[in-house]
Chain A
Amino acid sequence: MLNKPVHGKLAELEMSQAKIFLERSLESTPDGVILFDEKGRFSYVNPALLNWVGRREEDFLGKMLTEVTPPVLSPEDTKMIAERIQARIHSEVSVTAAKLNLIRADGGLIPVSYSAASVKGPGGGVQGEVVFLKNLSEQIKAEEALKKEQDFNSVIVQSSPVFIVAINAEGKVLMMNRVMLKTLGYTAEQINGLDYLSNFVPVADREMLAEVFRQLVQSHKPTLNENHVLTKDGQELLLEWHGRPIFDEKGNFDFFLGLGIDITKRKQAAERLESTTSLLDTIVDNSPFAMWVADPNGTIVRTNHSLRETLNLIDEQIIGKYNVLADTNMDKQGVMALVKGVFEKHEPARFDMLWQAEEAGDAAFRGARDLYIDVSLFPILNAEGELTQVVCQWVDVTERKQAAMALRESEEKFSKAFHTSVSMMSIGEIKTGRLLEVNECFLKTMGFKREEVINKTTSELNIWVDKNQRNTIVKTLMKNGMVRDFEVSLRTKNLQVRHVLFSMDIIKLGDKDLALSIVTDITERVQAAAERERLIADLENRTAELERFIYTVSHDLKSPLITIQEFLGLLKEDIAVRDTEQINTDIRFMATAAKRMQKMLAELLELSRIGRLDNPVEKISLEDTAREATELVAGQIRERGVKIDIQPGLPVVYGDRPRLLEVMQNLIENAVKFMGDNHQPRIEIGARQDDDITVCFVRDNGIGIESQYQKKIFELFDKLDNNSEGTGIGLALVKRIIETHQGRIWVESEGNGQGSTFCFTIAGKEELDES
């Protein structure tokens, strides 16, 4: 607030107008304005300044600069400005100009220029101070950006590998960049103001270049030309120049700017090749692999240590003597085209080959050993794309190759063993159960084609007769890692069953678990064993029968002999005493014994004939046979008054007609014989179905047979009733006949007085044919 000067009304009015004007100006200026009062306290801060420092008016008004919190100036600046304000109040200093940093509320700095002046009252005394602050932030930023840009340009110009030169209208050098100075051998001071053409251009190029400059000035267009420049020590460099005229703001020619690229290519290429060659030499010499370098004609010009060692030769024996294009090994191994390709088409090549010293085309190689080598050939080209050398690298793979060959040989052996084995062999994947390989024997035995089997599981092929056997094998394999000689049955493609011994092992192939199965077909063996068992059982039966026969003969045939002998003795005595009654008894016993003996002998003879089919097998109706048999024993039937009932349904069988007639006759006779005292004797002959089997029977209502004797009656010479006239051979005979017809005979009876049913079966035609 300005103090009121002591003037008239007009003066007051003028003052208030001036005050409004001043306040408006202060409010709208982009610069910062501060008023301090006569004591040095803030009496006004304009909005621009408040905005810069992010504070409010009340942070300042009425306060000394040192009282502003947080401080708006650094402590040093605060002290300096506060002292100046005090000095001015005491009229010691009039004006202050400084550059300061204001501290914003957020701690940021605002660079400002500070200028202050004291405000004097009408009386000439100091009434306060006015401060103008100019924000320098934008200005400083712009200055920094400019400097950066200048530095950047300078760096580019100075560090560019491109030659840069500026030449004024008079042809004097204004500037050369570092690369150009260095290459030409000058310092920046030495070239300043020198005439360019006469100092830096060889005489031969001067006229041409002068013309280029003229064109640049006239056409205002950039130029492109090649000319030589001279170094300080007189050497010439060929450069490609990009010329450009530079004009000032008014459009007048200012200076030429030339950008030059060193195109001394040939020399550079030569240098590059030289360094490449020495690098190559180093690589070749130190490579652990045998290497040689050939010239474009294929002749070896260089070898390395490893090659010499591999071949056991020295350089004199190889260099200039061996020519790869003349090596007949290459022809023999069919790789010459590849080798020629390296030399002619510059295509790198790589191949395996057997390299034999004998074939290498030079006597010196004769002592070298033969090698399996992995050969790499690559061309070395110069900058023009011309072949300068061919580098060859040999890796001796003899041992690897021999190992591979040994492996292949053993694989072949295994493969041969696998495929020619007389056991069935297969390899399958454990995880999936799929067959990966099977041998010929497998295919032949199982009746499959290879393509039907590979990649299928054995379950898919339906070869397991009993799935449980497969499961047992798998379980055992998982548990023990192998299976040995499991006896199982497999089904072939045409549904034949083969008995096999199954063995299995787990083999590892890479990361896969595979199962190798070895299966031996023992079907024939099993059949033979079964046949042998059958023959043995048969023989045992025969032997047992024979033993029993011999035994019974020793007893049963002896009995009537004893009878005859003893009664003959008694007869003599009885005749001596003329005991007629005894004589008759004696003779009767002897006669009975003789008759019995005769019958037994006849039947034994009969029995001995059975055991083979004597007569041709023919179709026989058992019903007809039953009738025929009934007629044969008609006398006995009539005598005993037995009623015979032949029921329908008796089967037609294949067999030995006379023998089967004997069976019927024996069974009917037997039934009649053991009728007992039944008043209505009756015999039924018929057939019934037991499951799928036709059972023929001869049933009587006679005395019956108790269960414990039902087996015994079929044994030779066994009879239950000593009063019967039988010899104990009849039923044994029947049994033998039935058995030769692959049948079975048995008796069913509830016991004494309950009647008996003699049952028998006869095999079908096929079964009979088989035997």
Chain B
Amino acid sequence: MKANGSPGVQPEVLLIEDDEAHAHLVIRGFVKQKLSNKIRHLTDGEMALDYLHHRGDYADLPANPCPCLILLDLRIPKVDGLEVLREIKSDNSLRHLPVVILTSSNAERDIAKAYEYHANSYLVKPLDFVKFTKMLSDLGGYWLDWNTMPFQSNRVISSKADN
């Protein structure tokens, strides 16, 4: 299986993570929840912003649709995670997107900055395997099952009713 979601498939989650191993872990966790086909993996901040703004390699809108959840690492090349967050939250058309910081940093400065830039949630990657697995499953369930997005409210409600 591939980290990058293939074009054409509707992604639910945009994973921005430079560490290949960590990306692998997240994707594998989502696979368990049968959510893997909804993940799009990007490896640096510049790519993330290009994707969200439909620029450069990601100009084709149908192939690169807007995600309903962004998982963002902080220490990523080129454009720093906090900078990516700030840009998303200061853009009228992107601001509503839930951004969950998923990082190994538990530095107070990072946490404070993330919330200052209106991060929707801040998750520190646990060192413990069981906790890591649990966190990923809770994350998927919360944001992708329970959470309702503004423009998809009808569909989500009906999908919940189906469950």
Contact = CB atoms under 8 A, between A and B. Distances in A.
Interface of A: 551-552, 554-556, 558-563, 565-570, 585, 589, 592-593, 709, 717-723
A160 B125 CA distance: 148
Contacts of B118: none
A569 B127 contact: no
A720 B18 CA distance: 10
A565 B127 contact: yes
B160 interface: no
Give me the 10 closest cross-chain CB pairs, A-B, nearest first.
A569-B129, A722-B18, A563-B21, A555-B105, A558-B104, A589-B21, A566-B25, A722-B77, A551-B107, A565-B127
Q: Which of B19, B20, B109, B133 has the most A CB atoms < 10 Å from its CB?
A: B19
Contact of A569 (B21, B106, B133): B133
Contact of A554 (B28, B77, B106): B106
B127 A570 contact: no
Contacts of B19: 559, 563, 722
5 contacts: A551-B110, A558-B105, A563-B22, A566-B132, A593-B21
Contact of B22 (A552, A559, A569): A559
B24 interface: yes
Given A551-B105, A558-B104, A559-B104, A567 B25 contact: yes
A556 B75 CA distance: 8
Which residue, B21, B75, B125, B127, has most C-beta atoms of chain A within 10 A?
B21
> Chain A CB within 10 Å — which of B43, B77, B110 has the most?
B77
Interface of A is mostly: helix
B128 A565 contact: yes
B48 interface: no
A566 B132 CA distance: 7
Contact of B24 (A560, A565, A569, A589): A589
Contacts of A558: 104-105, 125, 127
Interface in B37-69: 43-44
Interface string B3-37: 00000000000000011111011001000000000
A565 B129 contact: yes
Contacts of B103: 555
B75 A555 contact: yes
A615 to B, nearest CB: 34
Contact of A566 (B76, B78, B129): B129
A551 B109 contact: yes
Interface string B84-110: 000000000000000000011111011
A719 to B, nearest CB: 6
Contact of A717 (B21, B43, B75): B75
B74 interface: yes
Nearest to B75: A555
Given A565-B128, A565-B129, A720 B107 contact: no
Given A554-B104, A563-B25, 17 more contacts: A551-B105, A554-B106, A554-B107, A555-B104, A558-B105, A562-B132, A566-B25, A566-B132, A567-B25, A569-B129, A569-B132, A589-B21, A709-B78, A720-B78, A722-B18, A722-B20, A722-B43
B107 A555 contact: yes
Nearest to A569: B129
Contact of A592 (B21, B77, B129, B133): B21
B135 to A, nearest CB: 11
B154 to A, nearest CB: 38
Contacts of B132: 562, 565-566, 569
A722 B44 contact: yes
A394 B103 CA distance: 108
A562 B78 contact: no
A551 B80 CA distance: 14
A515 B105 CA distance: 67
Contacts of A592: 21
Contacts of B105: 551, 554-555, 558
A569 B104 contact: no
B161 interface: no
Contacts of A717: 75
B104 A568 contact: no
Interface in B107-121: 107, 109-110
A554 B104 CA distance: 8
Contacts of A709: 78
Interface-central residue, B105, B107, B129, by most chain A CB under 10 Å: B129
Contacts of A551: 105, 107, 109-110
A126 B110 CA distance: 170
Contacts of A562: 22, 104, 125, 127, 132
B7 to A, nearest CB: 21
Nearest to B74: A555
Contacts of A589: 20-21, 24
Contact of B127 (A561, A567, A585): A561
Interface centre among B20, B106, B130, by most chain A C-beta atoms within 10 angstroms, is B20
Contacts of B76: 722
Contacts of A552: 75
Nearest to A722: B18
A555 B75 CA distance: 8
B47 to A, nearest CB: 10
A585 to B, nearest CB: 8
A706 to B, nearest CB: 9
A630 to B, nearest CB: 28
A755 B140 CA distance: 43
A467 to B, nearest CB: 51
Contacts of B18: 722
B128 to A, nearest CB: 7
Contacts of A568: 129
A565 B130 CA distance: 10
B95 to A, nearest CB: 24
A84 B46 CA distance: 162
A563 B25 CA distance: 8
A670 B86 CA distance: 31
Contact of A570 (B28, B77, B109, B125): B28
Nearest to A555: B105
Nearest to A593: B21
B5 to A, nearest CB: 18
A721 B43 CA distance: 9
B129 A570 contact: yes
A551 B103 CA distance: 13
A143 B78 CA distance: 145
Nearest to B127: A565
Contacts of A722: 18-20, 43-44, 76-77
Contacts of B127: 558, 561-562, 565
Contacts of B106: 554
A709 B78 CA distance: 7
A316 B128 CA distance: 127
A552 to B, nearest CB: 8
B21 A720 contact: no
Contacts of B22: 559, 562-563
Contacts of B21: 560, 563, 566-567, 589, 592-593
A160 B107 CA distance: 136
Contacts of B107: 551, 554-555
Nearest to B76: A722
B124 to A, nearest CB: 9
B122 to A, nearest CB: 14
A585 B22 CA distance: 13
Nearest to B136: A566
A560 B25 CA distance: 12
Nearest to A721: B77
Contacts of A555: 74-75, 103-105, 107
Nearest to B24: A589
